Structure 1
C-alpha cells in the first residue's frame, strides 16, 4: 500500500493527503485530536516500512518489532516510541487487536507484492489496513459500539477501494495490483502483470463493479452516520465526503488508459469542511 493510501486510512479516522486528514482532525477536542494523530503516526510508520526498499527480511523484522512493541504497550511497559499512547489507550479504550491488524495488513505487501488477490483476500486487506484504523478511530470519536464498528467496516472499505481505483498506475509502478482476480477474469484479463493490466482495454470492465462496491459502502456509512450524534461523526463525515468526491471524479474521468490523475479542488475541500465542521 502506498504512503498516500496509508495516510488515507489514518485519515478516516491511514488516508488521503495529509492536509485532508489534518483538516478533518483539527476540529476535534484536544484529547481526541492527539489520539487521532497518534493513530495516524502509527499507520504512517508501519506503512513506510512496508513500502521501503529495504530487503524483505528486514521489513518483516521491523514489522515484527512493532508487534512486540504493541504487546509491551498493553503489558504496561511501553517502549519509548509508544509512551505517549498510554493515555489515549486508557481514555478511549483502544484495542490491541486493531493495532496488530494494521501491522498484519501492511505485512501482506511484504513477503511478495500483492498481485490480483481473490476477492476474499482483498476484503481482508481492506479490513486490516482501513477498517481496523476505523475501529480505533470510532472509539476516539465517542461512537456507540455497534454503530461504530459498522461504520468502520463500511467507511474503511469505501476509502480503501477508492484508493485502489485512484492508484492503479502508482501501484503498478511499485509492482502491485490490488484489483480482484475474479473481476480480471470476468473481463477476459488473464495476466497479473500490473503494467499489462493497467494498459489493458478491458480494464474499465474490472473497475466499474469495484466502484459500485465502494459506492455501496459509502451509502451504508451514510446511513449509519445519519442516525448518530452529529458531533461524533463530524470528522468521519468530512473524510467520507472527500473520498466520495474522489470516486465521483474517477467515474467521470473513466478508467481507460491513459489516465490523468484526479484531484479534489481546494474550493471543494473548503466547502466540505465548512459544511460538516460548522453547519
Structure 2
C-alpha cells in the first residue's frame, strides 16, 4: 500500500474507507481525523507486510526498515513516507514506543505462524497489535492520560479478541491459531493444527471462554468512557458498539463447524454512528 504525503485527509480516508474504522473517524475535527488516518495507514502497511506471502526474511527486513523509519521520525529526520506525521506527533504527543510496539506485534506472526499461544503471549499480542493502537488514538481524542491508557488496554483487547473469534476459519487457512493453549487443553484439544482445531467438537467451549474475556473488557471500557464528556469518546464508543455487535452476532450464530461468516448490516452500522455521534 502506498501512502502519499500530500492531501492526507483524502488519501488516508480512501485507504480506510472500506473499514469500520472509517465511519468512527470521519466525525472527528480535521486535525484529529488526519492524525487517526495516519495511524490507520501505518497499521495497514505493517500489517500488510506481516500478512504477505513473501519470504520471511524479506518481511522481517521490511518491518525492521519501519522501525528505523520511526526512529528517524523521532530524531527529526523523517523519511518521505512519514513526513506528514511530524505535525500529528508534535500536536498530540504520539509516543515512539507505541509505534514500535505495533511493529513488534505484527512481527510475532512472521518468523513462524502463531499457533495456540499461552494466555500471557496472547495478551502480549493483543497489547501490541490493538492496545498500542489505542494508546496512540486516545492521545488524539484528547482523553486524560491515565484513563486513556486504561481505555486503550480494555477496548483494544475487546476488539482484538472479537477479531480472533470472528476470524477462526480465515486464520486457520493461513496456518494461524490464536486460541489460547490453556483453554484448548482444558477442553481436551491437544492438537495445534489450525485446520484440525477448527473442526473440533469442543471448540465452542474454548470460544465461550474468550467471549467472556471480550465481554469483560467491553464492560470495563464502557465504564471508562462513561466518565468522560461525550465529545471525547464518540469515536471509541462507535468502535466499541460496532465490535460488540459483531460479538453478539457470533454468539447468536455459535462456534460449531461449519461457521457462516457474520457481518453487521449497513443499516445497523448507520444506526450505531447516528446514535453515538449525533443523537
Q: TM range, normalised to the smaller chain?
A: over 0.9
Change (3 A) 1:17 1:81: closer
Deviations 1:152-172 (A, max 9, x none): 000000000000000000000
Deviations 1:27-67 (A, max 9, x none): 00000000000000000000000000110000000000000
Query: Displacement of 1:19 after TM fit?
Result: 3.4
Q: Which runs of 5+ in 2 are unaligned?
A: 1-15
Query: Displacement of 1:20 after TM fit?
Result: 1.8
Alignment of 1:146-225 (within 5 A): 146-225=146-225
User: Are 1:34 and 2:34 counterparts?
Assistant: yes
Deviations 1:66-101 (A, max 9, x none): 000000000000000000000000000000000000
Distance 1:93 1:17 in 2: 26
Residue in structure 1 matched with residue 75 of structure 2 by the alignment: 75
Distance 2:134 2:194 in 1: 29
Alignment of 1:68-107 (within 5 A): 68-107=68-107
Residue in structure 2 matched with residue 140 of structure 1 by the alignment: 140
SS at match of 2:237: helix
Distance 1:169 1:20 in 2: 21
Question: What is the TM-score of this pair, normalised by structure 2?
Answer: 0.94
Change (3 A) 1:19 1:149: same
SS at match of 2:269: helix
Distance 1:262 1:53 in 2: 26
Residue in structure 1 matched with residue 8 of structure 2 by the alignment: none
Query: Displacement of 1:17 after TM fit?
Result: 8.1
Query: Displacement of 1:21 after TM fit?
Result: 1.1
Alignment of 1:120-139 (within 5 A): 120-139=120-139
How many residues were matched structurally?
A: 264
SS at match of 1:83: helix
Distance 1:153 1:176 in 2: 24
Distance 1:217 1:158 in 2: 5
SS at match of 1:35: helix
Residue in structure 1 matched with residue 110 of structure 2 by the alignment: 110
Kindly report structure 1 stretches of 4+ aligned residues shifted beyond 6 Å.
Answer: none
Greater RCO (CA < 8 Å, at least 6 residues apart): 1
SS at match of 2:64: helix
Question: What is the TM-score of this pair, normalised by structure 1?
Answer: 0.94
Deviations 1:221-268 (A, max 9, x none): 000000011101000000000000000000011000000000101111
Deviations 1:160-208 (A, max 9, x none): 0000000000000000000000000001000000000000001001000
Distance 1:21 1:105 in 2: 20
Distance 1:17 1:193 in 2: 35
Distance 1:241 1:273 in 2: 9
Query: Displacement of 1:22 after TM fit?
Result: 1.0
Distance 2:139 2:87 in 1: 14
